[in-house]
Structure 1
Amino acid sequence: MRTLETLCGGEWVTTGEWIDVHDPADVRAPIARIPALGAKDVTRAYDHAERGFARWKRTSPFERSRILTEAAALIRARLDEIAADVTAENGKTLAEARGETGKAADFLDYYAGLARQGYGTLLHDARPDTRTHTQREPIGVILVISPWNDPLITPARKLAPLLAAGNAAVFKPATDTPLSGLHFARALHDAGLPDGVLNVVTGRTSEIEQALLDDPRIAGITFTGSNSVGNRIRRRLADRNVRFQGELGGKNASAVLADADLPAAAKAVTAAAFGQAGQRCTATSRVVVERPVYEEFTRLLVAEVEALTTGPGSDPATTLCPLSSPRQRDMVLADLARAVEQGATVLTGGSADTEGQRAHGCYVRPTVLADVSPESAIWREEVFGPVLAVRAVDDFAAAVEAVNDSAFGLAAAVFTRDLGRAYRFVDEAECGQVAVNTTTTGWDVHLPFGGFRDSGTAYKEQGEEVLRFSTRVKTVAVHFGG
């Protein structure tokens, strides 16, 4: 078992208190341990961040860009080592982990480029002999709270733009999956990031929550996770001038129309629903199918799902990984039991998988459910596991209505050969991300990302849009006449 340190004030530190990290493929013994920081350590992290910000905001954007570019190169050079740890702590397949590691480097490269670009706009002024412009400035110290399901790419998505803009960060990785975030921090540290600009707080949230969330130096909080936690943070900030960016839940739907390429749709829906064992915020968890092709599509879908190979993420043959923890496995199994109680029919899967080498892991068989009522919990609530519910609908209008009948609005897809209906779906789907004839997952670094309704706040992630969260606008008028 490895013992790791965490980064605070430019130094790698420990505390003498530890948290064990487990591999969800076999939870019998820990694979690593990390420092369990206390409230005083968190306050020191903010002390370092305050000093780091004072230096970093004055650092040339070209120097910021150089550091982010070098960090990206270090991540690519260490790709095998980092991907192995992503798989070990989270469970996802090596192919998924390698893709995540490469994408983390892409985020650094993309925002390194943006750091070198213009940062304001020249505006006309009604006053004579006056030139007016706006300029964007960093907002200060930002708290980054990342989830366990994408332990490397989510920190990269959040940290790269805020660092490029000149902010400092206190970063809290998920307690179950901290190794990936520590790799990201090490790459930035080794690339020359000044002391205190990035500080990593590893610890039990229940013990450090007050110090983490209530420090008066926080200018913004960016959080990815559940609605219950996100809303609790939002309420906690209600009377403070602190920005909040939340990427929250989803109950993403795909609509398969009667004219669709059904085999292609079945493959795409399977990939979107069961990649990372369904533990993606953009995973497809609901499918509505026009009634004339419902039976044929369902047959093709079940065949695709039953062809998945369940196993450890470290096994190259695995196409369906374990869930990330015993807690998550048990929650998914409870959701499945409730779905059956509420009338759902299990077409395939529906239970834990404890065969052979999977006996000591967090495995749930990939599951397809039919006869699902639109009022049932499995249709309306986020499960975050390898579970897909399928319903028949009468026509296009009913398909759109079913997709939109949700408290969430993150991602949706439609499968059709009719370009007119495709664009109608794009216009009518109440989601932040809409796909046509492809998966609900897989949005690239330069594409604005975020949901509507209960899926998130108004601040988008990715692309240039994210800079609206981590920068403020100053308007400057210069009179040059006599």
Structure 2
Amino acid sequence: MSVESVPRLVGGAWRMPADGRAIDVLDPADTRRIVARVPAMTPAEVTELYDEAARAARTWGAASPLERGEVLARAATNLRARSSEIAADLVAEMGKTRAEATGEVAKSADFLDYYASWARQPYGQLLADARGGTQTSARSEPLGTVLLITPWNDPLLTPARKLSPALISGNAVLLKPATETPLVALHLARALHDAGLPAGVLGIAVGRTSEIASALLDEPRLDAVSFTGSTAVGRELQRRLAGRNVRVQTEMGGKNATAILADADLELAIPVVAAAAFAQAGQRCTATSRVIADRAVAADLLVGLRKEAESLALGPGAEAGTTMGPLVSERQRTEVLRHIDRAREDGANVVTGGFVPEGAKYEHGCFVAPTVLGDVTREMAIWRDEVFGPVAAVHVVDGFDAAVEAVNDSAYGLAAGLFTTNLASAHEFAARAEAGQVSVNLPTSGWDVHMPFGGFGDSGSPFKEQGAEALRFYSRVKTVAIRYGR
């Protein structure tokens, strides 16, 4: 069976690597299968992308916002028209279920459409000036050339979330997709290219990070970096760029907690929490990883979570009936199992899961059974460390104040949730939870494109993504005073 070799986008043209350098993209449901081969770019080829971006940034930045918006809107239409093909590749390279992949394509198109609509919004304002015969305004301008570094867990959605505000703001963009999942990022590039995005405005830096990181980050023409990934890598990126006039945005790790109070509606809470913990095999930055249960409902909650976990149909994402796919790679599976083993050693009780399933269907894949851990204490590593897998750690508390304290007992601060039927508790929790995203009687995951998104603490930087807030990162403000008379 032949394997497709996918070209890279540079200067508005699709090119194959001259020397045949390539990266094999593997199917996590069966790692014997090569999904595609993508270029393994060299540092010199990355510099070529910056050359193209420098030329394109001037004309794209000077273009009318209406022209930019039309390109984004057409690209959204292209994504939707190719949804079936793109979703199939997303399932193949990342392991999501078909339903999860199809939803990701739809939401990625929504990002393009939403930011296309900003073309008709004001991008400046008039300001009162005490000087006679003078008109003063504040104008929004693009930064220039921005680098987007995106992760493997949402390989289409995260690039779309960053690209859309960057492009509508008038910037040229280099996109560095994760090495494990580069294929659907090239689909996004094709949707924009076919929509009429001018040559050089977007370049895709496909390659091994260890080989091209210096060319990407040490480039003097770089104006901003938006990164989504682990906290360790995000912090290293911040240190590396410190002291330079490069704007940095980091959306990093999470150890999200949902508290279930004694008055919670368990029939609502249990399936919602289970979905937030196990959807996408737990590989979401907003996944519920810590479950904090009031002692009055803890036993029933554990029974319910176990039933939900055991009802999931584990298998290849492309297989009919699958409701939870594999982890993205063998390395990620090994890491998740290490966290579970450490939790056992620390005294946690494995209520269900915690193993690699047996059978021919799972033999060559990166599968881990959905796992519920009980008897978790706040001294355990499983309480503190991000797992990024299908693992829910349950900790028991007494009362509302103890629940809030436990939710906030983390270096991270991305998402927090509460289940209660008491309106006063809901509002107090929203005020006291130290997280950038707070949900009541809802999952910690699932935020729409127009809602500001980002975390506190070790989960992120001051710049938010999504909504109007995202435009602040990709723009600079110039104040202009013009004297037109005496």
The answer, yes or no, to whether TM exceeds 0.5 is yes
The runs of 5 or more residues in structure 1 that have no matched partner are: none
- TM-score, scaled to structure 1: 0.99
Match of 2:15 in 1: 13
How big is the shift at 1:69? 0.5
Match of 1:152 in 2: 156
Partner deviation per Cα, 1:69-89 (whole Å, 9 max, x = no partner): 000000000000000001000
**Residue aligned with 2:438, SS:** strand
Alpha-carbon contact 2:46-2:212 (below 8 Å) kept: yes
Match of 2:340 in 1: 336
How big is the shift at 1:239? 1.2
**Residue aligned with 1:466, SS:** helix
Say if 2:451 is the partner of 1:462. Answer: no
Give the partner amino acid of 1:466: A
Partner deviation per Cα, 1:195-216 (whole Å, 9 max, x = no partner): 0000001111111111011000
Partners of 1:354 and 1:134 lie apart in 2 by 63
Instruction: Decide which moves more: 190-199 or 115-124.
Output: 115-124
Match of 2:235 in 1: 231
How big is the shift at 1:131? 2.4
How big is the shift at 1:123? 1.7
How big is the shift at 1:29? 2.5
Match of 1:204 in 2: 208
Partner deviation per Cα, 1:122-143 (whole Å, 9 max, x = no partner): 2222223322211100001000
Match of 2:359 in 1: 355
- 1:17-416 to structure 2, matched below 5 A, reads 17-416=21-420
Partners of 1:267 and 1:29 lie apart in 2 by 34
**Residue aligned with 1:218, SS:** coil
Partners of 1:22 and 1:249 lie apart in 2 by 25
Partners of 1:414 and 1:118 lie apart in 2 by 38
Partners of 1:76 and 1:138 lie apart in 2 by 28
Partners of 1:316 and 1:455 lie apart in 2 by 36
Match of 1:449 in 2: 453
Partners of 1:279 and 1:129 lie apart in 2 by 59
Partners of 1:316 and 1:97 lie apart in 2 by 14
Alpha-carbon contact 2:302-2:374 (below 8 Å) kept: no
How big is the shift at 1:107? 0.4
Give the partner amino acid of 1:124: A
Partner deviation per Cα, 1:32-66 (whole Å, 9 max, x = no partner): 10010001000001101111101101111111111
**Residue aligned with 2:153, SS:** coil
How big is the shift at 1:352? 1.3
The runs of 5 or more residues in structure 2 that have no matched partner are: none
Partner deviation per Cα, 1:326-360 (whole Å, 9 max, x = no partner): 11001001111111011111000011123231111
Match of 2:4 in 1: 2
Give the partner amino acid of 2:337: L
How big is the shift at 1:480? 3.0
Alpha-carbon contact 1:165-1:470 (below 8 Å) kept: yes
Alpha-carbon contact 1:4-1:32 (below 8 Å) kept: yes
Alpha-carbon contact 1:93-1:316 (below 8 Å) kept: no
Partner deviation per Cα, 1:141-193 (whole Å, 9 max, x = no partner): 00011000000000000001100110001111111101110000000000110
Alpha-carbon contact 1:42-1:208 (below 8 Å) kept: yes
Partners of 1:355 and 1:129 lie apart in 2 by 81
Instruction: Decide which moves more: 170-179 or 127-136.
Output: 127-136
Partner deviation per Cα, 1:256-309 (whole Å, 9 max, x = no partner): 001111021001001100010000000000010111111111111211111111
RMSD across aligned positions (CA): 0.8
Give the partner amino acid of 1:401: E
Partners of 1:244 and 1:352 lie apart in 2 by 39
Partners of 1:415 and 1:221 lie apart in 2 by 37
Alpha-carbon contact 2:7-2:14 (below 8 Å) kept: yes
Alpha-carbon contact 1:124-1:131 (below 8 Å) kept: yes
Alpha-carbon contact 2:75-2:194 (below 8 Å) kept: yes
Instruction: Decide which moves more: 456-465 or 129-138.
Output: 129-138
Give the partner amino acid of 2:319: D
Of 455, 475, 480, the residue aligned with 1:476 is 480
Figure out how many residues of one structure are paired with residues of the other and give that number: 482
Indicate the percent of aligned positions where both proteins have the same amino acid: 58
Alpha-carbon contact 1:354-1:360 (below 8 Å) kept: no
Partners of 1:241 and 1:337 lie apart in 2 by 44
Alpha-carbon contact 2:10-2:203 (below 8 Å) kept: yes
Give the partner amino acid of 1:115: A
Alpha-carbon contact 2:282-2:389 (below 8 Å) kept: yes
Alpha-carbon contact 2:282-2:390 (below 8 Å) kept: yes
Partner deviation per Cα, 1:391-441 (whole Å, 9 max, x = no partner): 110110000000000000000110000000000000000000000101000
**Residue aligned with 1:253, SS:** strand
**Residue aligned with 1:19, SS:** strand
Partners of 1:43 and 1:480 lie apart in 2 by 45
**Residue aligned with 1:216, SS:** coil
Match of 1:428 in 2: 432
